[in-house]
């Protein structure tokens, strides 16, 4: 593997790790709200969260490019903060990945919270636990299988993304060139050997992810 390919692998893992971490923080309250609310907003919010499931990644990437670009509202905001522009940077990719993988993190956690029912939290309240206390001591541990699925899926889905990266990040080695883009480059350059190495690695990785998910699902929820 060339140093450039290794850099792409490292960047991919860094992107997926960062994205997963941020997703856990964002998706947990969102999943709780979606699992519990009776608000009329539930439908629209759920649809919005799940939009990346059906949209072509290029569409998401395109709009993000516009919004975060020099004339977009987010772009102007980041510029006034002195952060510069997000497109064609690592953090731009993180933003795109978080949105793109959001449903993969929200859905399993939401299902786990819903399956738990109201009772455990009510019981904890009668045992003097305030909301934050009972959320972390009861709801989160009981939803553990959902969290594990969310972590695996969000990480894997980010590793596998291509369209959003290409639209939003381009192809800058060490900054935005992830494995899927590197494979594309090798194929374009007719270097099938190098493409095989990375592509085969992705196949093995994906297989392991699905296998672990399967084992996870078979284990009885703790």
Partner 1 sequence: MSIRARYRLDRGGFVLDVDLQMAGQGVTAVFGPSGSGKTTLLRLIAGLDRAPGYLEVNGEIWQDDTARLFLPTHKRALGYVFQEASLFAHLSARRNLEYGMKRVPSDERRVPMNRVLDLLGIGHLLDRMPESLSGGERQRVAIGRALLTSPRVLLMDEPLSALDLARKQEILPYLERLHDELEIPILYVSHAADEVARLADHIVALDGGRAVAEGPLADTLARLDLPIRLGDDVGVVLDARVGERDATWHLARVSFAGGTLWVRDTGLPAGHRVRIRILARDVSVALEHHVRTSILNLLPGTVEAIADESHPAVALVRVNVGGQPIVARVTRRSAAALGLTPGMPVWLQIKAVALIG
Task: By CB under 8 A, name the one of 53, 127, 189, 211 that touches partner 1.
Answer: 127
Do 183 and 166 touch, CB atoms closer than 8 A? no
Task: Give the whole-angstrom CA distance, residue 123 versus residue 111.
Answer: 20
# binding residues, partner 1 (CB under 8 A): 20
Task: Give the whole-angstrom CA distance, residue 183 versus residue 13.
Answer: 15
Asked if 115 touches partner 1 (CB under 8 A), the answer is: no
Choices 45-53, 71-79, 122-130, 175-183; region in contact with partner 1 by CB under 8 A: 122-130
Choices 34-42, 49-57, 81-89, 115-123; region in contact with partner 1 by CB under 8 A: 115-123
- Secondary structure of residue 136 in the 3-state scheme: helix
When the beta carbons of 139 and 166 are compared against partner 1, the nearer one is: 139
Task: By CB under 8 A, name the one of 129, 197, 199, 209 that touches partner 1.
Answer: 129
Map residues 130-169 to x or -, x wherever contact with partner 1 holds by CB under 8 A: x--xx--xx--xx-x-------------------------
When the beta carbons of 37 and 137 are compared against partner 1, the nearer one is: 137
Across 107-132, b (16+ Cβ under 10 Å) vs e yields bbbbbbbeebeeeebeebeeeebeee
Task: Give the whole-angstrom CA distance, residue 199 versus residue 192.
Answer: 10
The half-sphere exposure of 181 on its side-chain side, counting CA atoms within 13 A, is: 27
Residue whose C-alpha is closest to residue 103's, from 27, 32, 165, 40: 27
Choices 66-74, 94-102, 128-136, 160-168; region in contact with partner 1 by CB under 8 A: 128-136
Task: Give the whole-angstrom CA distance, residue 197 versus residue 193.
Answer: 6
Q: Give the interface with partner 1 as residue ranges (CB under 8 A).
A: 119-120, 122-130, 133-134, 137-138, 141-142, 144, 221-222
């Amino acid at each position: 593997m060339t140093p450039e390919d290794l850099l792409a692998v490292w960047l991919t893992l860094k992107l997926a790790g960062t994205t997963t971490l941020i997703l856990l923080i964002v998706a947990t309250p969102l999943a709780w709200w979606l699992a519990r609310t009776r608000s009329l907003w539930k439908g629209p919010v759920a649809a919005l969260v799940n939009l990346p499931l059906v949209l072509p990644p290029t569409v998401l990437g395109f709009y993000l490019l516009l919004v975060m670009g020099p004339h977009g509202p987010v772009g102007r905001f980041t510029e006034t903060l002195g952060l510069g522009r997000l497109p064609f940077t690592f953090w731009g990719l993180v933003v795109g990945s978080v949105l793109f993988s959001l449903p993969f993190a929200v859905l399993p956690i939401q299902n786990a919270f819903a399956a738990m029912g109201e009772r455990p939290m009510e019981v904890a309240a009668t045992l003097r636990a305030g909301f934050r206390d009972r959320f972390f001591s009861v709801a989160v541990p009981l939803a553990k299988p959902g969290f594990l699925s969310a972590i695996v899926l969000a990480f894997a889905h980010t590793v596998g993304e291509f369209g959003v990266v290409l639209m939003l990040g381009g192809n800058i080695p060490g900054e935005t060139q992830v494995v899927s883009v590197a494979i594309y480059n090798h194929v374009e350059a007719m270097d099938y050997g190098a493409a095989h190495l990375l592509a085969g690695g992705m196949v093995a990785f994906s297989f392991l992810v699905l296998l672990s998910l399967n084992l996870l699902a078979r284990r009885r929820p703790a």
